[in-house]
Amino acid sequence: MSLLIKHGTVVNPAKGQHEIADVLVENGKIAAIGKDLSKEGAQVYDATGLIVAPGLIDIHTHLREPGQEAKEDFHSGTQAAAAGGFTRVATMANTKPVVDNAALVRGLQKQAELTGVVKVEFMGAVSKNLEGKELAELGDMAEAGVVGFSDDGHYVESAAFMRRALEYSQMFNRMVIDHAEETTLTKHGHMHEGFVSYELGVAGRPAVAEDMAVARDIMLADMTGGHIHIAHVSSKNTVDLVREAKAKGIQVTCEVTSQHLSLTDEYLREYNPAFKMAPPIRSEDHRQALLEGLKDGTIDCIITDHAPHAYEDKDHEFYCAPNGFSGLETSLAAVITNAYGPDKLSIDEVVYHMSTRPAELLHLDAGVLEVGKDADITVFSTEETWVVDRNQFYTKGKMSPFDGMTLTGRAKLTVVNGEVVMKEGEVLR
């Protein structure tokens, strides 16, 4: 079946394209991009007033399968991705069992193909069982198709071990994703350490804990020539460190979550566990530095860090609640609401950071609208407003700091390999 997306504003950063045009899809591929296209018998979608972009890609999610399916599984997680406009996600290795060997990778790839609504990539663990003692099967997992290595959720405390990981990973042209928090400074903290935490009497997680970890691993990347990628940057000093390292030619990249671009620690005054995450949302000066880092290219991409929990697990008093929440269905809207507009990001920059650059980081043949490429397409509005209702989420994790907020911007059509998997908010698979 053919699909013809008409009259949308095609935003295609990899080609420097920003114009009103049509996109024709045939047999799962992009067949044509141009003016006044027609195709007899094609399904037509009128994208007037909407953005037509290469499919959004989230390189940092937690789909929880295997072992934690009560929180999420490949089907529910990829339904949430489709609802949020994502055509591809990468899922982290901190599952039960940990994804630290090639046999498990291959089995999970097959399961994701059978039950997933969008494309799923896999991160392999850096260390066996995330213990930071013995390297996981990096080479075998790379051959099996993992797109990177990470002990996300755990800081690799041994500098010697991280050195070895960077040395080995570069043999396979994969980056090591670093959950950078010096745990001796954060293990008893529940929120950003600053004025609000002092006022509330809540033990904090200081930004310097992130800065110290990032500084160490930048130096190790410089020493080894390996590619270090800093996960979910939250500190203004980290942005400066990465900026300086890039200027020196060190192989360092980084990401920021839509929630760290949108929220500050002021939201924690009601002790709502929905706002509890690691690293924590910080003060306004940090949020502004993150936005500046995106604008000048220091920060490479925007991610969700989608981390669903069963509602009964998250719905505890603040001190006892786990970190993280479900972010795939609100991320695009949060970015458009809080990081897009005059003196912020242009729509071309939004698409670049949420599609084109993520594809480059993972070495994927994606992130571009081009004839002959897979028809992975996201159509979205930058003007539609809506009230977030967690009870309408497709994810199993019905907890969100954005619940009840009015956001601007929404995915309208998600196309994967030429198949419409979400239309007007309804996931079709």
DSSP output for 226-268: --EEE-S---HHHHHHHHHHHHTT--EEEEEEHHHHH--GGGG
- Domain closes at, from 346, 368, 390: 368
Tokens of 112: 């994701």
Query: Rounded distance, CA 36 to CA 34, Å?
Result: 7
Number of domains in the chain: 2
Whether residues 165 and 276 fall in one domain: yes
- Say what the pLDDT of residue 277 is: 97
pLDDT score for 180: 96
Same domain for 156 and 124, yes or no, is yes
**Same domain? 191 vs 329:** yes
- Alpha-carbon span 219 to 228, nearest angstrom: 10
User: What pLDDT is recorded for position 228?
Assistant: 98
* Bind-site residues: 60, 62-64, 94, 152, 179, 232, 305, 309
Cα 22 to Cα 33: distance, rounded to the nearest angstrom: 6
User: What pLDDT is attached to residue 284?
Assistant: 98
Residue 108, domain extent: 55-368
Average pLDDT over residues 323-328: 97
Catalytic residue among 305, 348, 376, 389: 305
Same domain, residue pair 92 and 139: yes
Q: What is the pLDDT of residue 1?
A: 78
Q: Residue 166 has which token pair?
A: 């960077």
Share of the chain above pLDDT 90, in %: 98
CA distance 123 to 142: 9
CA atoms of 86 and 55, how far apart (whole Å): 6
Q: Do 410 and 352 fall into the same domain?
A: no
> H-helix or E-strand containing 385?
strand 377-387
Model-wide pTM > 0.75: yes
Q: Residues within the annotated binding site for Zn(2+)?
A: 60, 62, 152, 179, 232, 305
Q: Residue 47 corresponds to which tokens in the numbers above?
A: 């994208």
Q: What pLDDT, on a 0 to 100 scale, did the predictor assign at position 137?
A: 96
Q: Are strands 86-91 and 119-124 parallel, antiparallel or unpaired?
A: parallel
Report the DSSP beta bridge partners of residue 119. 88
Residue 24 shares a structural domain with residue 101: no
Domain boundary at 368, 399, 419, which?
368
- Residue 204: the pLDDT is 97
Contacts for 199 with CB less than 8 Å, ≥ 6 apart:
none
pLDDT at residue 231 tops 90: yes
Nearest of 40, 33, 37, 31 to residue 11 by alpha carbon: 33
Q: Is the domain of 29 the same as that of 103? A: no
Cα separation, 62 vs 80, in Å, equals: 12
Domain boundary among 319, 336, 368: 368
Q: Note whether 399 and 359 are same-domain residues.
A: no
- Residue 380's CB: how many other CB atoms inside 10 A? 27
Check if 305 is active-site: yes
CATH number at 411 reads 2.30.40.10
Question: For residue 343, what are its two tokens?
Answer: 């003196």
CA dist., res. 239 & res. 293, Å (int): 6
User: Are 228 and 220 within 8 A, CB to CB?
Assistant: yes
Instruction: Kindly state whether residues 46 and 142 are assigned to the same domain.
Output: no
CB 23 within 8 A of CB 30: yes
**195-228 pLDDT, tens digit each:** 999 999 999 999 999 999 999 999 999 999 999 9
Residue 184: pLDDT over 90 = yes
The whole-number average pLDDT for the span 50-64 is 98
Give the per-residue pLDDT at 209: 98
Q: Residue 285 — very low, low, confident or very high, per pLDDT cuts 50/70/90?
A: very high
Q: How far is CA 320 from CA 56, 191, 270, 313, 353, in A?
A: 34, 12, 15, 9, 34
Residues 18 and 102 in one domain: no
Mean per-residue pLDDT, 379-407: 97
pLDDT score of 236: 98
Give yes or no: residues 72 and 186 share one domain: yes
CA atoms of 11 and 2, how far apart (whole Å): 21
What's the CATH code of the domain at 272? 3.20.20.140
Interval 300-307 mean pLDDT: 98
Is 234 a residue whose pLDDT tops 90? yes
Q: At what angle do helices 207-224 and 159-169 cross, to 10 degrees?
A: 50
